[in-house]
Amino acid sequence: MTRLIFLISIIFPLSLAAQFPEGDVIMDKIDKNMSAKSMIHTSKMVIHGKRGDRTIESKSWIVGDEKAFTEYLNPARERGTKMLKLEDKLWLYSPSTDRTIQIAGHMLRQSLMGSDLSYEDMMDDSKLSDHYDATVTGEEQIESRNCWIIEMNATDNTVSYPKRIVWVDKDRNVPLKEELYAKSGKLLKKTELFDVKQVAGKWFPMRIVFNDMLKTGKGTEFVITEIEFDKEIPEVIFSKASLKK
Amino acid sequence: MIRFIIKGLLRDKHRSILPIIIVSIGVMLTVLMHCYITGVMGDTLELTARFSTGHVKVMSRVYAENSDLAPNDLALIDVKELRENIEAQYPDMTWVERIKFGGLVDAPDEFGETYAQGPAMGIAIDIFNEGSGEIDRMNLRESIVRGAIPESPGEVLLSEDFSQNLGVNPGDEVTLISATMYGGMSISNFKVSGTVIFGIPAMDRGAMIADIEDIRLALDMNDATGELLGYFGGGYYEDENAVALSTEFNEKYSSNEDEFSPMMVSMRDQNTFATMIDMADSLAGIIAFVFILIMSTVLWNTGLIGGLRRYGEVGLRLAIGEEKGHIYRSMISESVLIGIVGSVSGTIFGLFFAYLLQTKGIDISGMMEGSTMMMPGIIRARITPEAYYLGFIPGLFSIVLGTLLSGIGIYKRQTAQLFKELDAWGG
């Protein structure tokens, strides 16, 4: 009897672990689903502030995780403002001042247009597998979808969030919820992803709600109104000259 | 009788001059010390009031909760109307609007691209309206190192250290990147009209001083302000009045239901100033009390010595038949006169030196380099109503008390013994 209990106590945890797939495998699947050679999207950012909501419309052209160009379309105050990201550098052009300003250092952690996203968040298109080790820690249902709970720990110091906990749709390999932590273990941001649609063979969330846990606002909704994958984008867009055009 | 005593005092300089000098010096030091301590404590608080807290401050309730972050998205709106109401209700006070803002100041190169940048802590004040008194309140004229105070819209002051770090000179253009009241991005160009040193390291690191209308435009804060500061007409913080004023205002204008309703807080209720104000009051009181105690002991001793020194004279007066009670009363009357004359002259001298210290001050800015405290560079005394009568406590009462005690000995002396003493003196 004692021997039986001993065997069960060894085998039972192993059998539980065996039910979970490798975290890195899931992470690769997420990267494969979410990344694209290039992406063009038009979006609306709805910032829920204490004094009311504000909507900012923009169009972005993205190539891999190194080049991105965004032009703000509305409202009038922001219209014509442009951002250019080349590798780890970010430039901002303001038509009212006719200035091209480089955003660097700790400024990258500042809020983007008063939203719950930082410039760093907006710049970060890199693959998860390039910066994190992943372990599946459990499973849970979100909005009737079966999800793996994956804990990701950074393998280098270049990332904004040393730890992430991600709820990934088991079948569609798309995150449905994410918690982003500081090195100290403090929860910095929460994101929830909705309206998952299949576009060009990829499952993609069309609405993301960001909540900066250090802010008093009611969160920011990022809604993609149009999206295209793997379109050819002229190289000239990703130059400082195009900021002033 | 009094005339006789005065004549006696005038004719016998030993009886009057020395005690009066001692009383005067003691009273003068007491008055001067009181004014000095009150001045130093008060100036430290006033400096904070001028730069940051006001004597009272009106903010929205929710802004007040997060005031350390200067959250302009929670600023007061419809300020013109609110200010008109407040000014009508409290006409003896001066009211000024201020906007604190954070952001990044970016200095361009010749091609208009980023050359240098740094985080800025900005204060927007009413520069162009002379009636606001903000230039004097912020001591801007004296703080200018290079260039001049802004003369036209679109001009700003930078702290000298900040401008050096950015490589910016008066006349150069910089860009402020900040957030509007509604959370939008704000990018505005300004011309640097001059640089300043406040002597407050926290401000000298990255301060930008701009006109409030320019910042309203930049941060989309039309008819809005972060803070509305009130200053008492007398120029000094009045704790009881400030607390009463805040209570009255909040009962009328503030509502728990509306987090954007205006709320007035006295300087006492901002940050940790309650402790500081209480400490300033009690410390000034304690130091004054200890000093008065010491001076009282010294002057009491003077009274005692005076009484004892006149041992022979008292004996002679008793021997020729003067009543003991009469001698005792005349000595007390003399000490009262000495006390009054000494206290009056001591108070006059004390007030004179306190006035000099109040108007000229002592420059300690050299000692303040590297300090992180918000302390005035020039310390000044402050003449308060108490200074006019405070010196009479050690000056009058102590010397009279000393005489009262030393004079008791008069009643113990026997007439028979007095003649023996006189024989001995006559020798």
Residues B118-162: pLDDT tens digits?
Answer: 888 999 999 998 888 899 888 888 889 999 999 999 999 999 999
Residue A180 is part of a domain; what is its CATH number? 2.50.20.10
Establish if A9 belongs to a structural domain: no
**B175 shares contact with chain A (CB less than 8 Å):** yes
Average pLDDT on B52-62 reads 92
Check the CA dihedral A191-A196-A199-A201 and report its sign. Answer: positive
Enumerate the H helices of chain A as residue ranges.
Answer: 2-19, 23-34, 119-123, 240-243
- Whole-angstrom distance, CA of residue A67 vs CA of residue A65: 6
Average per-residue pLDDT in chain A? Answer: 85
More confident residue, B79 or A1: B79
**Mean pLDDT value of segment B285-304:** 71
Arithmetic mean of pLDDT over chain B: 83
pLDDT over 80 at B309, yes or no = no
Q: Looking at the 3D structure of chain A, how many domains does it have?
A: 1
Where is pLDDT greater, at B268 or B272?
B268
What is the average per-residue pLDDT within B215-241? 90
| Each residue's pLDDT tens digit, B173-208 | 999 988 888 877 888 999 999 999 877 777 788 899
Provide the pLDDT confidence category of residue A189 given band limits of 50, 70 and 90.
very high
Looking at CA atoms only, how far is residue A160 from chain B in angstroms?
Answer: 20
Smallest Cα distance from A121 to chain B, Å: 16
CA B76 to chain centre: 30
pLDDT for B414 equals 67
Domain boundaries, chain B: 2-47+276-426, 56-231
Q: What's residue A15's pLDDT?
A: 47
Query: Least CA distance to B112: which residue of chain A?
Result: A99
In terms of residue numbers, what domain contains A154? Answer: 21-243
Taking only the tens place, the pLDDT of each residue in B393-407 is 777 887 787 777 777
- Residue B365 has a pLDDT of 62
Confidence of residue A12 (pLDDT cuts 50, 70, 90): very low
Each residue's pLDDT tens digit, A200-213: 888 999 999 999 98
Q: Say yes or no for a CB contact (<8 Å) between A99 and B117.
A: no
Report chain A residues whose CB lies below 8 A from the CB of B117: 101-102, 104, 107
Q: What is the pTM of this model?
A: 0.69
Q: pLDDT value at position B367?
A: 61
* Chain A touched by B68 (CB under 8 Å): no
Asked if the model's pLDDT at residue B219 lies above 80, the reply is yes
User: A102 to chain B: which residues are within 8 Å by CB?
Assistant: 113-114, 117
- Closest among A88, A91, A70, A109 to A233, alpha carbons compared: A70
What is the rounded CA–CA span in Å between residue B379 and residue B382?
10
Q: Are A174 and A34 in contact (CB under 8 A)?
A: yes
3-state secondary structure A113-149: CCCCCEHHHHHCCCCHHHCEEEEEEEEEEECCEEEEE
Is residue A181, in this structure, part of any structural domain at all?
yes
- Cross-chain Cβ contact A111/B66 below 8 Å: no
Q: How far apart are the first and last CA of chain A?
A: 80
pLDDT of B243 higher than 80: yes
Tell me if ipTM is over 0.85.
Answer: no
Provide mean pLDDT across the span B371-388.
71
- Distance, in Å, from the CA atom of B59 to the CA atom of B40, rounded to the nearest integer, reads 29
